[in-house]
Structure 1
Amino acid sequence: MSERLVVIGGDATGMAAASQARRLKGAGELEIVVFERGHFASYSACGIPYWVGGAVRERDDLIARTPEEHRERDIDLRFGHQVLELDPAGHRVLVRDDGGTESWTGYDKLVIATGARPVRPPLPGIDAPGVHGVQTLDDGQELIDTLTGQESGAAVVIGAGYIGVEMAEALIQRGYRVTMLHRGAEPMSTLDPDMGALVRKAMDGMGITVVGDAEVTAIRTGADGRVRAVGTADGEYPADVVVLGLGVRPATELAAAAGLPLGEEGGLLTDLAMRVRGHTDIWAGGDCVEVLDLVSGRLRHIALGTHANKHGQIIGTGVGGGYATFPGVVGTAVSKVCALEVARTGLREADATAAGLQFVSVTIESTSRAGYYPDATPMTVKMLAERRTGRLLGTQIVGQEGAGKRVDIAAVALTARMTVEQMTTLDLGYAPPYSPVWDPVLVAARKAVAAVRAAGW
């Protein structure tokens, strides 16, 4: 007799889990039902800003596998179906279909892949037409419809994280005058403030007005009810469109109501096999879970498609009777705004202090290529190392072409728990079109070694 797998959420984790489970179990052994409340599945949410900005021409270019392809593999993918309640004791979920009918569906195994929700503060006017969060393809389509229906004018981006800076670029590409409002002293709070200052300076040079220490108080609307400005404690900024880039929170309301375990940041807690703690027949992954930070040893909520897809593969393997685990992350992320590339991995200074680590930090200036080679561009690398051991703790990079992906060197070193001295002997590829003789990351490592020795260890 076949078992039934129910998956809540049809994006990266959910469909990867369903597909991997199907590879291991035939339709006669495992029935797979996926409930997706939206209208799209298996898409790249990370690509939405580039679709909005025009670098990606068609919405369907972001879809990795069509619904028809999933259904041909005997995966029952149901759009417009929202799960309203979980009943772990009864092994069932309450679902409302697109016609409004509610019914219970039983399961033998359950995957929770509900993702995350954009932070939407309870401000006056926050739900006015022209105010957009950007998390799903449906969100992206609504924003494009708004932009297509009006001439380029003034745009305000609230928040200066990854989504914020990427959407600022998208709006610049569409010809809007862009103002970015954020609460911190510098944009990109995932960086240390000194590195965030480099991002602000570069964005100013692109024509983006960056306003720090801005406390948004209201979204102002016109006589037609549409957004016309964003009010702050210090002034008002005209806006024909507003994009929210305030980050996301785990979408775990259903899990919380069902009594499933949540962490300090609101994400579901799982074991290494991505099973929800205390439940052998429920798995969870993607943006709705917390994962182990391999550098600090703490649990963190990190919403990235790279992790979500890996979680899905691991979950599908477990559901299908195999064995796989997810050991944790080092917190690697790369972004860009126009020509500027921004990357980080590991801990910031504030993270290291919160974890009780003593550290040294160094910053170096270098170039993307040999200085004599044409089109070499400047690059700034900041590196943190543990004071007592010299273990690498984190790296941040801001520069132009060739800067961002260099952070992968540090990501591998962090995963391997290398010291900065060990990093200096890495045999990296070299040719003048690609790097100086000493790669900028290794220059930073050398300087970090000197700082560790100067600290007396």
Structure 2
Amino acid sequence: MAAERMVVIGGDAAGMSAASQARRMRGPEELEIVAFERGHFSSYSACGIPYWVGGDVSGPGDLIARTPEEHRARAIDLRMRTEAVEIDVAGQRVRVRDLSDGTEGWTGFDKLVIATGARPVRPALPGIDAPGVHGVQTLDDGQALLDTLGCTEGRRAVVVGAGYIGVEMAEALLKRGYQVTVVYRGDQPMATLDPDMGRLVHEAMDGLGITAVGGTAVTGVRTGADGRVRAVVTDAGEYPADVVVLGIGVEPETTLARAAGLPLGPHGGLLTDLAMRVRGHENIWAGGDCVEVLDLISGSTRHIALGTHANKHGQIIGANAGGGYATFPGVVGTAVSKVCDLEIARTGLREKDARRAGLQFVTATIESTNSAGYYPDAAVMTVKMLAERRTGRLLGTQIVGREGAAKRVDIAAVALTAGMTVEAMTTLDLGYAPPFSPVWDPVLVAARKATTVVRKAGV
């Protein structure tokens, strides 16, 4: 009997994790695996790009988990610089274009995996495509930005957007010796936090010498006689720039899926079942940044572009496409970041998320330290918790502080997944020693305060 063919569109985390897992389950005599990647790199960490740009990582090779040659050695036919341009669902085939010579052809499939990732948001503004304006989603993007930094005489950088990408790129450019201005629409940076927590990030950025300009809409990019960027134009004036980085965020890259008539959610991502199978299509799976995932707290779908999810999706897709069984239940929305020595973390719902979900809630915010107060260099940490008003169920946690702050959010992530109340959290048996925590860990202090607020609200 002829081998089945699995076609994978996308050679990064989700796509190649799916291919690798399927290969572990079925040999090449049973399952032929063909993967298409339009870029120059496979299986890489896009999350590491800001640290490469900032000089913490020496080169792109350090960010690559597995090269095309390594994939091919495992009987996965990975074709680089080859772009999928059409999916024929009824005919079970994919049309691809060789980017080196422009030739096109069709490849049939028995099983299809869509892992097309996400694309940087690039608003249609005057001058937005000028030389010197960069998005940072792929290793190719990172290399292009470094090439620009290497040939630019001026040292003024403007970052548009103050989400994870924006603040991380601001730090990277600061390390490169640039004067950095971050321009964003919201009242505070890091819209993934509530504004009161975002204010702490703003204060830290000011202290680092980063100019943070909130409540400002970008209206265009001004260029010079040579066509290169000279300034970012906003509704509050111009900000001189020798290089511009777009950190506005990303959106699912589902152009192919939309054209093929596959189901998309409210955020533009593909909709899948628990097995990561595209809804209504028995032989098509999707994973990574091009899909929407279930939020376990609110019950709605969200688009979250993270390599952690992408790799898990790939493992599940590969298991199912390889004849096994696995599911992805959903997420609680955990994410961490940093700007220089300030660590930023969140999990679960923000206040506006809880309101949108129709939940009644209370909040509690505390200040503590990352180690015992008497231990040398103990630093302040701020923890905010949201709890359901009547039940006390934990709804979300945000943490901003110095060393040791970010990973504490994992305690809350586990509590959210387990459906714990803030009162139950107060008795968690967490590790303690003066260099690592006060006797009462900051997360437990926040849970105690949240418990008190819940009890008062119930009176």
Structure 2 length-normalised TM: 0.99
- Any conservation in 2 of the 1:152–1:174 contact (CA below 8 Å)? no
Other-structure match for 1:330:
332
Residue 454 (structure 1) aligned to one of 440, 449, 456? 456
Instruction: Map 1:59-78; keep pairs closer than 5 Å.
Output: 59-78=60-79
Aligned-partner SS, 1:51? helix
Alpha-carbon distance between aligned partners in 2 of 1:427 and 1:308, rounded to the nearest angstrom:
31
Percent identity over the alignment?
78
Counterpart of 2:30, as a letter, is: E
Give me the whole-angstrom Cα distance separating, in 1, the residues matched to 2:154 and 2:258: 43
Indicate the RMSD between aligned Cα atoms, in angstroms: 0.6
Secondary structure of 1:230's counterpart equals strand
SS where residue 188 of structure 1 aligns?
coil
Q: Of 389, 402, 405, which aligns to 2:404?
A: 402
SS at match of 2:128: coil
Cα displacement (A) at 1:234 = 1.4
Matched ranges for 1:75-224 at <5 A: 75-98=76-99, 99-151=101-153, 153-224=155-226
Q: Secondary structure at the match of 2:171?
A: helix
State the SS of the aligned residue for 2:381.
strand
Moved over 2 A (4+): none
TM-aligned CA deviation for residue 59 of structure 1 = 1.1
Deviations 1:1-45 (A, max 9, x none): 100000000000000000000000101111111000111000000
Q: Is the 8 A contact 1:219 1:230 kept in 2?
A: yes
SS in 2 for 1:179: strand
Alignment of 1:206-245 (within 5 A): 206-245=208-247
Rounded Cα–Cα distance in structure 2 between residues aligned with 1:263 and 1:16: 24
**Counterpart AA for 2:381:** M
1:273 paired with 2:268, answer: no
Conserved? CA contact 1:158–1:246, under 8 Å: yes
C-alpha distance in 2, partners of 1:261/1:425?
44
* Aligned pairs (5 A) from 1:243-392: 243-392=245-394
1: CA distance between counterparts of 2:412 and 2:243? Answer: 38
Q: Is the 8 A contact 1:330 1:345 kept in 2?
A: yes
Q: Counterparts of 2:7 and 2:352 in 1: how far apart (Å)?
A: 41
Q: What are structure 1's unaligned runs of at least 5 residues? A: none
Q: Does structure 2 retain, via aligned residues, the 8 Å contact 1:152–1:175?
A: no
Paired residue for 1:29? 30
The one-letter amino acid of 1:252's match is T
Q: Deviations along 1:133-160, whole A, 9 cap, x unmatched?
A: 0000000000001011124510000000
The alpha-carbon deviation at position 331 of structure 1 amounts to 0.1
Query: Post-superposition shift, 1:233?
Result: 1.1
> Aligned residue for 1:40?
41
Q: Report the equivalent of 1:10.
A: 11
Residue 147 of structure 2 aligns to a residue whose secondary structure is: helix
Partner of 2:443: 441
Task: Tell me the TM-score normalized by structure 1.
Answer: 0.99
Distance 1:276 1:58 in 2: 36
1:383-427 Cα distance to aligned partner (Å, 9 max, x none):
000001000000000001110000000000000000000000000
* Partner amino acid, structure 2, of 1:37: R
**Secondary structure, aligned partner of 2:256:** helix
Letter in 2 for 1:86: I
Query: Secondary structure of 2:220's partner?
Result: strand
Residues 131 and 244 in structure 1, CA contact (< 8 A), matched pair in contact too:
yes
What SS does the aligned partner of 1:194 have?
Answer: helix
Distance 1:152 1:402, change over 3 A: farther
